Amino acid sequence: MNRREALKNSALLSGYAFSAGTIAAFLSGCNADPADQMWKPSFLSMDQNEMLIKLVDVILPKTDTPSASEVGVHRLIDKLMTEYCSETERKNFQEGIDKAIAAKPEDLVGYMTQIAAEAEKHDNNAKKPEKSNYRSTAFFSQLKGMTMTGYFTSEEICNNVLVYDPIPGEYIGCYPLEKTEGRAWAE
């Protein structure tokens, strides 16, 4: 099984809200180069891009591993929005970014916590969804899904954080745990 097949299978099994365009982008090998110094957003404005950087870093902040923005997740999201997402998804995403810009900068974590709670409430009330919160819950699900997938499929994370054992490969029945250096396995 290659990386694209593994991603396809995990995307289908995951709980994130992926659109057909997002899945197509990852299966086609869509990737952003975080080292490109000349990069400028093509879908988002510069202000929206700055907010997106903050939002993806709230979802996956820097710890002993790089933050989401350090591996170029915001660039990937801009590319996905430009090339693969529908007009409805683009409009909803821009509205979500604009609402985040309107939130107080010092309370960005609080804002993200609020829309995450709304998304969870919306998911739990799937039989009777509240129309008033639909756009913010859709935005959060879309943002979180693209952030997580972009992060864990980035070259930096796959090569330097996760352990990768290609399949098919050599079968080692008793693999010493010490050789994994305590890192999680990438599949």
**Using 50, 70 and 90 to split pLDDT, how confident is the model at 53?**
very high
Q: Do the Cβ atoms of 74 and 39 come closer than 8 Å? A: no
Least confident interval from 6-20, 41-55, 153-167: 6-20
Q: Where are the domains of the chain?
A: 3-164+173-186
Burial letters 40-63, b for 16+ CB under 10 A, else e: ebebbeeebbebbbbbbbbbbeee
Given pLDDT bands bounded at 50, 70 and 90, which one contains residue 114?
confident
Residue 56 in contact with residue 68, Cβ under 8 Å?
A: yes
Residue 96 φ/ψ, nearest 5 degrees: -65, -45
Query: What is d(CA 41, CA 100) in angstroms, rounded to the nearest whole number?
Result: 18
Total-model pTM:
0.70
